[in-house]
Amino acid sequence: MSDNQASLTADGKSIEMPVRSGTIGPDVIDIRKLYGQTGLFTYDPGFTSTASCDSAITYIDGEEGVLLHRGYPIGQLAEHSTFMEVSYLLLNGELPSPAQLDTFSHTITRHTMVHEQLSSFFSGFRRDAHPMAIMCGVVGALSAFYHDSTDVADPEHRKISSHRLIAKIPTIAAMAYKYSVGQPFVYPRNDLSYTGNFLRMTFGVPAEEYEVVPAVERAMDRIFILHADHEQNASTSTVRLAGSSGANPFACIAAGIACLWGPAHGGANEAALNMLKEIGTPDKIPEYIARAKDKNDPFRLMGFGHRVYKNYDPRATVMQKTVREVFDALKVSDPLFETALRLEEIALNDPYFVEKKLFPNVDFYSGIILSAIGFPTTMFTVLFALARTVGWVAQWNEMISDPGQKIGRPRQLYTGPAARDYTPLDQR
């Protein structure tokens, strides 16, 4: 990494700050001494120009639409890898050998069961509770079951907690779905793949054998790969900030799930399909395009735009291709796919979207696939959380293992009243 200097002059004060370079991507100005030497803060709500950490896990080039996991392009991983292998890669930094992958898969598989008492948490929710509300509650409650592994300073505790979270999140996600439809929970099976196990726990019933459809298993596994990690997005930053206080990993992941739920973030996949259903047929598209462009209308095209991608989200490319594969495998079609393709075509030729560099993101097509597989829209963000758990866990481990790590504590620009004396009630 090459280092040089940046200088800042403000309020008659001048300061030299080191500029650091990463492997690839923008250099950073190290401002850690700024306040101490000038009494000034930087100001960056939404962190549009702020690097919050060093990280070696995921790299995004928003201008070029590039996404790398430990250097490997997302398109190659989606084409050739599996979610278990990508999980190993994110956690350990290198692709596993066959023996390493077998051991990792075996370990994860044997942590997929949850404590039997965890099942009783579900009955406290209304049957129509949003599954993301259940995920927030139940995942946070895991910390009540694993007092043996919440010492974040202990690498062995971090390892077993990481494996437990990656292994149990599909089981809990499937239980959230089963609870919402009033069907019995289905226990995991050790002879199935990670994704096959999840599909059977979700759609299997005790009354008959569940056959995993290989093409659906492959598509679901690829969707998990596409959602596994994405640099310092809002929910990952939430996990890092929660973890920086020393909170246990189960609580940190529950915080990440809560943040992901928002429609501007992981909730966009549910919102995007609901939007397509509201639009209905292609002839209604112009009306919604106009609304999306109207400053006085809060409506936005869900599944479009991104804080970092100012080009096509490479995950959306893979997602669109996967729609056709799932339709062929299940011999189904969905008119909303045609509406989505037409909406994309119109938007990408509209000056408003072109000038603001608004392209489809990972959430634009995912709902169509998930709906075809049989998931209700309320489960879409749960599936995003399921896949992103490995990314959150990898980023949490990276932060906790950093010897320079300290609690995150941003400052502010104070705009409230200056100091003033209390006025007694009888004088107000």
Q: Point out the catalytic residue in the list 306, 350, 402, 426.
A: 306
Structure token digits, residue 274: 């609901």
Between vectors from CA 57 to CA 53 and to CA 58, what angle results, nearest 5°? 90
303 touches ligand SDX (CB under 6 A): yes
DSSP state of 208: B
Whose structure tokens read 């669109």?
Answer: 320
Q: Point out the catalytic residue in the list 363, 402, 421, 426.
A: 363
Catalytic annotation present for 363? yes
389 touches ligand SDX (CB under 6 A): no
Binding mask 341-360 for ligand SDX (x = CB under 6 A): ---------------x-x--
Among 170, 305, 314, 367, binds ligand SDX (CB under 6 A): 305
Q: Closest CB to ligand SDX among 186 and 239?
A: 239
259 touches ligand SDX (CB under 6 A): no
264 touches ligand SDX (CB under 6 A): yes
Helix (H, G, I), strand (E, B) or coil at 121: helix
304 touches ligand SDX (CB under 6 A): yes
Helix (H, G, I), strand (E, B) or coil at 267: coil
Structure token digits, residue 239: 């996990």
- Mark out the alpha helices in 246-357 (DSSP H runs): 249-260, 268-279, 285-293, 314-330, 335-347, 351-355
In this chain, which residue has its C-beta nearest to ligand SDX? 305
Decide if 385 contacts 260 (C-beta within 8 A).
yes
Tell me the C-alpha to C-alpha distance, in Å, between residue 277 and each of 236, 271, 336: 30, 10, 7
Stretch that binds ligand SDX, among 153-161, 198-206, 298-306, 405-413 (CB under 6 A): 298-306
Size of the site for ligand SDX (CB under 6 A): 21
301 touches ligand SDX (CB under 6 A): yes
324 touches ligand SDX (CB under 6 A): no
Among 143, 233, 322, 389, binds ligand SDX (CB under 6 A): 233
Structure token digits, residue 421: 């004396």
Q: Give least dist CB 383 to ligand SDX, A.
A: 13
Main-chain phi, psi angles of 154, to 5 degrees: -95, 115
Structure token digits, residue 315: 């995950």
300 touches ligand SDX (CB under 6 A): yes
**Cα dihedral 139/58/152/166 (nearest 10):** 40
Please give the Cα distance from 38 to 41 (Å, whole number).
9
Catalytic annotation present for 163? no
Q: Closest CB to ligand SDX among 67 and 174?
A: 67
302 touches ligand SDX (CB under 6 A): yes
Contact footprint for ligand SDX (CB under 6 A):
230, 233, 264-266, 268, 292, 300-308, 356, 358, 361-363
Active site residues per annotation: 306, 363
